[in-house]
Amino acid sequence: MKAIRRLGKTPKERGDTTAATGSPDILALDDGSFAVIGTDITDQIGVYPLLDAHCATGERIVRISRATLISAKSDIPEQ
């Protein structure tokens, strides 16, 4: 598995990279899936954040900034 490109602007371009917040990012992978770099909030939000949402063993819930997702919008394919 390999990251092949970033979706959206770089954390530096968004002003979204500090020692406190890290460098949230969304990456496209060579198998067609995506990876998210963010702050692990699993312990704060719990493994059942919604009635129909569950964080399985081996999964973590991560927080990314609003700017990270919005800047990636134009790079997310429709299908």
Q: Residue 50's pLDDT is what?
A: 96
| Number of domains within the chain | 1
> So what's the pLDDT on residue 20?
63
Confidence at residue 30, expressed as pLDDT on a 0 to 100 scale: 97
Tokens 């429709």 sit on residue = 78
Q: What is the pLDDT of residue 1?
A: 94
End-to-end alpha carbon distance in the chain: 21
- What mean pLDDT comes out for the span 67-74? 92
Which residue in this structure is represented by tokens 């990012």?
25
Which domain range does residue 51 map to? 3-75
Helices (H), the chain: 11-14, 42-45, 66-72
pLDDT digit string, tens, across residues 1-56: 999 999 998 888 888 776 665 688 999 999 999 999 999 999 999 999 999 999 99
